[in-house]
Amino acid sequence: MANSKSVADLHAAMRAYPGRLSFLSAADPQFIGESLDLLDKFPGLLGAAELDRARREWQVLEPFVRSRTAFEAAFPGIELQPIHGDSPPANIFSGVDGDLYSDFELVTLGPVEWDLAALGPVHESAYNRGAQRNGTRPLNEDVLGFVNAVGMLRTIAALTLTPQLPELAGYLKPGVRLRSAGHEVTLATHERFEQAVTAHGLGFRVLPVDPRQELASQVGQGLARAVSPPVAMARVARMARAFMPRLTRGVADAVRQGADVVLSSTVTDPMCAALGEALGLPSIGVYLQPVQPTGAFPPMLTGGRSFGSHGNRLAAYALWAGTDHIFAPAVGALRRELGLPRRRFGGMLGLPHGRDVLHGFSPRVVPRPTDWPQGHEVCGYWWPQPPPGWEPDPRLLDFLDAGPPPCLQTP
């Protein structure tokens, strides 16, 4: 909420930006239109009636997203200015010398309401208090309705990315590297990824609970209609608790088919740790995100604002307790089935203290916190492994050949 108040300060500072900016490019109308067309190919992701409604809404909204003239005619008196474009409340970090702002790659010309889209009344009120302090205008209810509607359509459009979920890509690279070192590697994941796994010479074992099918369920489709992030998080938790028993059985079946070492993602680590304990197998966590409590930064799901060293750790432990509620019934049942004693809280989700966890992200992006336990290491990104025989798009080659090498800035 404090971050939303600070967005008004950011807008006041950006008003004087002299550069030329396109109108509402952050909305990416081409992506919305193309994705709504593509959703016909994925009938399991969205019902026909919901897709038809989304398309009809986009027909009404698209002219005002693409045309500054149309927008200004529909919302007379609403001043346009340079805006952040990418939910700035989630990109403000508290520093010793004041707030730090990040992720400016989507800066665009638009109404300030765009930067508060889908955040809800509490954040809107916080912004208005910041605007009053700065002497700038408060949020306009009609424009908020417009940007929230466009934001919901962008959420629906993003369903087309579900078949390209990056979680698998993060694990293909270490699998290929281990295989090239002489190890036999099998990757357990969802059935639709089988071809991508076997194309790299890796073994494949199927897991249940395909994200596409879960998003197509009644609860999953409710995520696209969530009125605020807290509502969306509550629905995600309810959906995860419902499918966790099936996923746990699938992970147990995959491990029982034979393994010498088990490497497990964040979601499967609680059950893999229990299986490793019962079967006498070494089990190591391989995470793509930092979840271990630390005073260095707050938990990812709470946003970017620091609560201070002690507050960050307390927030992480509170989040653990909530997450444990999702895993506990299924993992508890697995432990009883394996003849293991009832677990006591040690590390996250009852994982034993001293457990080794490797993290697949860059220490330049997230340096290893000094208060992490021994055995938790940051290894650098496990960049996706290109498919065998991959060739770059000819348009990319034409771009690279058209002039001097472009400048690429990464974190």
For the segment 242-251, what is each residue's pLDDT rounded down to a tens digit?
888 999 999 9
- Within-domain flag for 139: yes
- Within-domain flag for 410: no
Name the one residue in this structure whose structure tokens are 């271990």: 292
Instruction: Answer yes or no: do 231 and 349 share one domain.
Output: yes
Q: How far apart are the first and last CA of the chain?
A: 26
- Within-domain flag for 191: no
Domain count for the chain? 2
Instruction: Answer yes or no: do 230 and 335 share one domain.
Output: yes
CATH number at residue 97: 3.90.1200.10
Distance between CA atoms of 276 and 279, rounded to whole angstroms? 5
Instruction: Answer yes or no: do 244 and 153 share one domain.
Output: no
Instruction: Answer yes or no: do 351 and 233 share one domain.
Output: yes
Instruction: Answer yes or no: do 13 and 86 share one domain.
Output: yes
Instruction: Answer yes or no: do 120 and 220 share one domain.
Output: no
- Within-domain flag for 397: no
**Cα Rg, the chain, nearest whole Å:** 24
Distance between CA atoms of 330 and 368, rounded to whole angstroms? 31
Instruction: Answer yes or no: do 155 and 266 share one domain.
Output: no
The pTM assigned to this predicted structure is: 0.61
- Within-domain flag for 150: yes
Tokens of 304: 């970017």
Range of the domain at 25: 2-161
Q: What is the pLDDT of residue 71?
A: 97
Instruction: Answer yes or no: do 362 and 223 share one domain.
Output: yes
Residues 361-398 pLDDT 10s: 889 888 999 999 999 999 998 877 677 777 888 888 88
- For 3, other C-beta atoms within 10 Å of its C-beta total 25
Q: What is the pLDDT of residue 411?
A: 46
Q: What is the pLDDT of residue 194?
A: 86
Q: Give me the residues of the chain with pLDDT under 70, please.
A: 1, 44-45, 94-97, 161-168, 211-236, 301-304, 343-354, 385, 407-411
- Within-domain flag for 342: yes
Instruction: Answer yes or no: do 145 and 38 share one domain.
Output: yes
- Within-domain flag for 119: yes
- Within-domain flag for 178: no
